[in-house]
């Protein structure tokens, strides 16, 4: 006779386990301690087997019968329900091991290990705060574009549009790693192109509050490989603090190594400008001169394909990205100008007007002498300033984090 809920409720535990039989092999086992377990008895390949279907009352009588019927359907199709359950458990365990968070943390270890610490921390915090709570436990293979967009929209709705774009970027990086390691087949993030409003960047990235990060980036520059002229450009830029577009078109005819000066016309402002060259800057240029000084184009940093053209506009930032520097969020080639402004004034006590004359290439001219005066303005002070700046960068590279205002420059 089939079981009823009333029969189950009225059955009291005894000294021994009590079996309440339903039908089609289903029964409820009532233990002396009061626990009640659903079991289904079946035969497969000539052997009698038992399948656990849950605990009463969490699994009610109706649901127990449904689970039994589902198992019977598998059996009718030639599948052992018990083996099928073990296979499903194994699959779920594997999916848990391949959850988005699990794959992302593996990506952290392999992809971010060589990146600057500040960059690693930003990416890790971003995913831990904005992604893992919503997608972290889900199997990465099951995550689709709408799921990623929902996460990005939450970030956008709190007014952090730039972070929302970076969330999508980082999620895409994790997916591409998952694809490369065979745990996903499709990266959903390209489908989100245009789904978020564009970000209007108002400044160039630079770690103006983190001298240690600057030191770490300078140390990373020592590991740069590739064309020697590109390596030289990346290392020289922090020492001359000009616009990257001006550095890439530097010509040997404009460089006076003996006089320690680089003279050129700034196309952005239309003025003539002089950049004093520190001892460190001269060292880089003297090492490069035998390699590029004799080439027909006359470029200090000729392109890799033709000496008649300079390196590309993207070469410096591309090299920094190859090292692991995030040029969108951490430091861009233009960012050295912001660093000189901030560190030079706040940490080294340099005069703002001297700094601005050097990096802005345009300062108010009350003398009436025009362009000739502008390029000579504060030249002696700027010469001392750029040597001190280069020494300061050497100190940061060596591991110093704070240098008090007025501290002597490194020898």
Instruction: Quote the DSSP letter at residue 60.
Output: -
Q: Kindly state the tokens that stand for 291.
A: 């390699």
Q: Please give the positions annotated as active site.
A: 243, 268, 334, 337, 361, 373
Q: What beta strand segments (E) does 16-129 contain? A: 18-21, 26-30, 36-44, 47-56
In degrees and rounded to multiples of 5, residue 76 shows phi and psi of: -65, -25
Q: Kindly state the tokens that stand for 141.
A: 């293979």
Residues 6 or more apart whose CB falls under 8 angstroms from that of 23 comprise 2
Pairwise CA distance, residues 363 & 276, whole Å: 17
Pairwise CA distance, residues 21 & 30, whole Å: 11
Pairwise CA distance, residues 178 & 184, whole Å: 5
Whether a cis peptide bond, with omega within 30° of 0, leads into 331 is no
Dihedral of the alpha carbons of 264, 325, 121, 347, in degrees to the nearest 10: -20
3-class DSSP state of 198: coil
Using only the alpha carbons of the chain, give its radius of gyration: 34
Pairwise CA distance, residues 249 & 235, whole Å: 15
What is the pairing mode between strands 36-44 and 47-56? Answer: antiparallel
Residues 6 or more apart whose CB falls under 8 angstroms from that of 55 comprise 35, 36, 37, 38
Q: Are 404 and 226 a contacting pair, CB within 8 Å?
A: no
Q: Kindly state the tokens that stand for 297.
A: 């184009």
3-class DSSP state of 401: coil
Pairwise CA distance, residues 203 & 124, whole Å: 23
């Amino acid at each position: 006779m089939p079981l009823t809920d009333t029969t189950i409720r009225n059955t009291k535990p005894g000294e021994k386990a009590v079996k309440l039989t339903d039908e089609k092999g289903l029964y409820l086992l009532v233990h002396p301690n009061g626990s009640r377990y659903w079991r289904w008895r079946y035969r497969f390949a000539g052997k009698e087997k038992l399948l656990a279907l849950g605990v009463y009352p969490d699994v009610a009588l109706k649901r127990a019968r449904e689970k039994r019927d589902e198992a019977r359907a598998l059996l009718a199709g030639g599948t052992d329900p018990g083996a099928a359950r073990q296979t499903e458990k194994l699959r779920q365990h594997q999916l848990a091991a391949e959850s988005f968070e699990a794959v992302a943390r593996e990506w952290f270890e392999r992809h971010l290990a060589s990146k600057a610490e500040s960059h690693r921390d930003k990416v890790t915090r971003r995913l831990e705060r904005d992604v893992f709570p919503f997608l972290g436990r889900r199997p990465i293979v099951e995550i689709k574009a709408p799921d990623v967009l929902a996460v990005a929209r939450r970030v956008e709705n709190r007014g952090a549009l730039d972070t929302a774009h970076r969330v999508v970027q980082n999620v895409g990086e994790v997916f591409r790693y998952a694809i490369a390691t065979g745990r996903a087949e499709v990266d959903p993030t390209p489908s989100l192109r245009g789904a978020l409003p564009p970000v209007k960047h108002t400044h160039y990235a630079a770690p103006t509050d983190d001298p240690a990060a600057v030191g770490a980036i300078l140390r990373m520059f020592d590991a740069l490989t590739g064309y020697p002229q590109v390596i030289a450009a990346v290392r020289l830029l922090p020492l001359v603090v000009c616009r990257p577009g001006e550095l890439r078109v530097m010509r040997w005819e404009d460089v006076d190594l003996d006089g320690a000066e680089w003279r050129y016309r700034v196309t952005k402002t239309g003025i003539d400008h002089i950049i004093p060259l520190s001892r460190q800057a001269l060292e880089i240029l003297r090492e490069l001169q035998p390699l590029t000084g004799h080439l027909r184009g006359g470029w200090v940093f000729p392109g890799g394909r033709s000496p008649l053209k300079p390196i590309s506009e993207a070469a410096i930032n591309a090299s920094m990205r190859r090292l692991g520097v995030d040029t969108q969020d951490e430091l861009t080639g233009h960012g050295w100008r912001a660093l000189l402004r901030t560190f030079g004034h706040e940490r080294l006590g340099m005069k703002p007007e001297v700094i601005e004359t050097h990096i802005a290439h345009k300062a108010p001219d009350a003398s009436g002498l025009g362009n000739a005066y502008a390029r000579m303005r504060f030249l002696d002070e700027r010469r001392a300033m750029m040597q001190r700046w280069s020494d300061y960068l050497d100190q940061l590279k060596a591991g110093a984090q704070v240098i008090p205002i007025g501290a002597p420059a490194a020898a």
